[in-house]
């Protein structure tokens, strides 16, 4: 059954909704390239976890929504080639018409199709995969399963990173994060829960991510100077996280 796509505006914020009160994407009308939702900003912390001189070059986005992640990467990572997989062609049209998604097939390719099927069949490799795909009931379906995350790992290159938006997890409950841990041999970490209830997980292949929190803070300052994205509050939340024992983030 086809769902209704609803676009709303309030106080300079334009939001995207599918048949529910769940917000599927957002854009500040006066600042269309910024990341309006907290969880999208946390997902972009992936840019701090590898050497910026080489990362990212080839990005896969599963789920387009309002195109916030795609637009940020398009604007601030000019050497990156971005592929976004979106199951509903109407969402792509709305993202272009109402949320200023660029129409540039050389740098931003949009594939209409099922994200899980795409991961099973593609022969491409990526250094960054970002998973933010949900249906109209805010359920990820086949995108939150062990086979899907195993397919993600298989499509990451030797120094790849996976960033996943997990929603609906109660404090202390792993949910789909347990599948990510198994698929990546426990080389995964979940950042502190966002105020919206989203939890962002990262997983890695290749060299271990092993960074002192001070180094992460310096990288966050540099990213903010280049892009305006303020990730220092996110990094400071890691101070008391069990994943950062000894003042280092490692996975």
- Asked if residue 212 is part of any domain, the answer here is no
- What's the predicted TM-score (pTM) here? 0.94
Confidence band, pLDDT 50/70/90 cuts, at residue 139:
low
Answer whether residue 130 shows pLDDT above 70: yes
Token pair of 230 as six digits: 């303020």
Token pair of 226 as six digits: 């280049």
- Asked if residue 65 is part of any domain, the answer here is yes
Kindly state the average pLDDT of the residues 201-213.
Answer: 96
Q: Give the model's pLDDT for residue 126.
A: 98
Confidence band, pLDDT 50/70/90 cuts, at residue 93:
very high
- Asked if residue 232 is part of any domain, the answer here is no
- Asked if residue 187 is part of any domain, the answer here is yes
Total of domains in the chain: 1
Give the Cα-Cα-Cα angle 215, 216, 221 (nearest 5 degrees): 95
- Asked if residue 167 is part of any domain, the answer here is yes
- The burial class, CB within 10 Å (0-12 / 13-18 / 19+), for 226 is exposed
Please tell me which residue, 150 or 53, carries the higher pLDDT value: 150
> 52: domain range?
5-207
User: Which residue carries 């500040």 as its tokens?
Assistant: 28
- Asked if residue 109 is part of any domain, the answer here is yes
Q: Give the model's pLDDT for residue 216.
A: 96
- Asked if residue 57 is part of any domain, the answer here is yes
Answer whether residue 175 shows pLDDT above 80: no
Q: Give the model's pLDDT for residue 245.
A: 81
| Average pLDDT score, the chain | 92
- Asked if residue 246 is part of any domain, the answer here is no
Helix, strand, or coil here: 171? coil
Q: Give the model's pLDDT for residue 246.
A: 86
CATH number at residue 201: 3.40.50.150
Answer whether residue 29 shows pLDDT above 60: yes
Region for residue 205 given its phi and psi (left: phi exceeds 0; alpha: psi -120 to 50; beta: otherwise): beta
């Amino acid at each position: 059954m086809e769902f209704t796509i609803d676009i709303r505006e309030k106080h300079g914020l334009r939001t995207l909704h599918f048949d529910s009160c769940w917000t599927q994407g957002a854009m500040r009308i006066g600042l269309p390239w910024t990341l309006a939702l907290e969880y999208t900003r946390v997902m972009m912390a992936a840019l701090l976890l590898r050497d910026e001189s080489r990362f990212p070059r080839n990005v896969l986005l599963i789920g387009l929504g309002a195109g916030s992640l795609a637009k940020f990467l398009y604007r601030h990572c000019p050497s990156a080639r971005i592929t976004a997989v979106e199951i509903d062609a109407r969402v792509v049209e709305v993202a272009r018409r109402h949320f200023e998604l660029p129409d540039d097939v050389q740098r931003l390719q949009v594939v209409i199709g099922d994200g899980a099927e795409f991961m099973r069949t593609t022969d491409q490799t990526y250094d960054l995969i970002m998973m933010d795909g949900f249906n109209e009931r805010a359920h990820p379906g086949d995108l939150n399963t062990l086979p899907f995350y195993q397919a993600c790992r298989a499509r990451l290159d030797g120094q790849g990173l996976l960033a996943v938006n997990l929603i609906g997890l109660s404090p202390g409950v792993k949910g789909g994060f347990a599948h990510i841990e198994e698929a990546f041999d426990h080389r995964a970490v979940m950042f502190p829960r966002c105020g919206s209830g989203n939890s962002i997980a990262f997983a890695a292949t290749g060299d271990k991510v092993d960074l002192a929190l001070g180094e992460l803070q310096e990288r966050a300052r540099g990213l903010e100077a280049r892009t305006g994205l303020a990730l220092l509050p996110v990094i400071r939340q890691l101070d008391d996280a069990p994943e950062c024992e000894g003042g280092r983030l490692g996975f």
